[in-house]
Amino acid sequence: MSAPESSRPRIQIRNLQKDKVDFVLSGVDMSYANSLRRAMMADVKTMAIDTVSILKNTSVLADEFLAHRLGLIPLYSPKCEDAAIWHMNCVCTEGCKYCSITYKLSVKAHNQRVVVTSNDISMERENEEGQNPYAEQEQLSDDDTRAQRTAMETRATVPGFGLPVGQSENTSKPIYLVKLAKGQEIEIVMRAFKGISKTHAKWSPLSAVSFEYDPHNNLRHTSYWYEDDAKAEWPLSVNAQHEQPVPENEPFDYMKEADKFYMEAEGTGAVDVADVVSYVRRPPFSSRFPSFSSLPLSFFPQPDLPHPPSPFSHLFSLPCSHRVSKNSR
Ligand SMILES: [Zn+2]
């Protein structure tokens, strides 16, 4: 006998924008939901600045401070899986065009105070051999390997690949790096490499991932501090309308477990959030989350949220599941 429809794993997209997604994951346990959250946050590859050479710095910020701020700038890097070789697998030593991107940041405040932002960073062209113009001569293989060709071909399909977010499109503001007083100057050369957030958070495509479950606290996983009336002082979340509170006179079910998770993720701009969700549905993650790759995925706008339906809904064109009603449980 097959499992009832309400207990089968499924995912329903409630709101999807370029840098934000809100979906309901149901029919799974909490460890599964948390594994998915961690995979979205830590396993998707992006580019981030990893080596910084400070040639001049007379600003008030120490070299290490500047290097840290530069590393945290999100770089537009969709399709990063194929668009760059892992530096550890590359034939170069200090970085080449196949495994990295070189940038330069050179600003001087001549007559007045200058605010240096991510828009002042320029991407440097590699020389014809793909060598770092700032490094000593490197020995690259004569063979243009398949991975190298794939990297270049993939990068060619992504206009603006590697640009700091804000330069790649005009919808976000540049990121402030440092203010230079009159006469101060910085000159920095840096390299971005492919990485994942398990190594360092700067490679995370998401700035925040969270989920809520059991909005009525039926499972009593938390206890609310209150002064007079817990219900009045702790208003229910918008997700409470999708579940029913257990009547107060009903005996507590010690065996009941959470099986519906209201997940939200916010992107840094490095990769579209829709691509992050799609990525963890493909191998090798589909083997780690066997049922997730085959989850029925549907899109429906959440009427209570102020956002309009997303134009990215075509990305989720797998067979639709049933829509959750308020009384579906
Ligand atoms: Zn290389």
* Domain termination residue (choose one: 176, 196, 216): 196
Q: How far is the CA of 44 from the centre of ligand 1 (A)?
A: 20
Q: How far is the CA of 91 from the centre of ligand 1 (A)?
A: 6
* Domain termination residue (choose one: 162, 196, 230): 196
Residue 300 burial (C-beta neighbours within 10 Å; 0-12, 13-18, 19+):
middle
- Look at residue 15 in the predicted model and tell me its pLDDT: 85
The Cα 300–Cα 13 span in angstroms is 6
19 and 158 share a domain? no
Q: Which two tokens stand for residue 89?
A: 């697998």
Q: How far is the CA of 65 from the centre of ligand 1 (A)?
A: 27
Q: How far is the CA of 158 from the centre of ligand 1 (A)?
A: 20
* Domain termination residue (choose one: 141, 167, 196): 196
131 and 220 share a domain? no
- Look at residue 26 in the predicted model and tell me its pLDDT: 87
- Look at residue 138 in the predicted model and tell me its pLDDT: 45
For 114-138, give one letter per residue: b (16+ CB within 10 A) or e: bebbbebbebbebeeebbbeebeeb
Cross-strand bridge partners of residue 164: 75
Q: Residue 323 falls within a domain, yes or no? A: no
Q: How far is the CA of 267 from the centre of ligand 1 (A)?
A: 28
The pTM of this model reads 0.78
User: What residue has token string 């549905």?
Assistant: 281
Low-confidence ranges of the chain (pLDDT < 50): 1-3, 128-140, 296, 298-329
Q: Residue 328 falls within a domain, yes or no? A: no
Q: Which two tokens stand for residue 298?
A: 């549907």
Q: How far is the CA of 140 from the centre of ligand 1 (A)?
A: 8
How many domains would you assign to the chain?
Answer: 2
Q: What is the span of the domain harbouring residue 34?
A: 5-43+206-315
287 and 169 share a domain? no
Q: Residue 322 falls within a domain, yes or no? A: no
Q: Residue 324 falls within a domain, yes or no? A: no
- Look at residue 204 in the predicted model and tell me its pLDDT: 95
- Look at residue 121 in the predicted model and tell me its pLDDT: 96
Q: If you average pLDDT over every residue of the chain, what do you get? A: 80
pLDDT tens per residue, range 183-216: 999 999 999 999 999 999 999 999 999 999 999 9
Q: Provide the CATH number for the domain around residue 276.
A: 3.30.1360.10
Q: How far is the CA of 165 from the centre of ligand 1 (A)?
A: 23
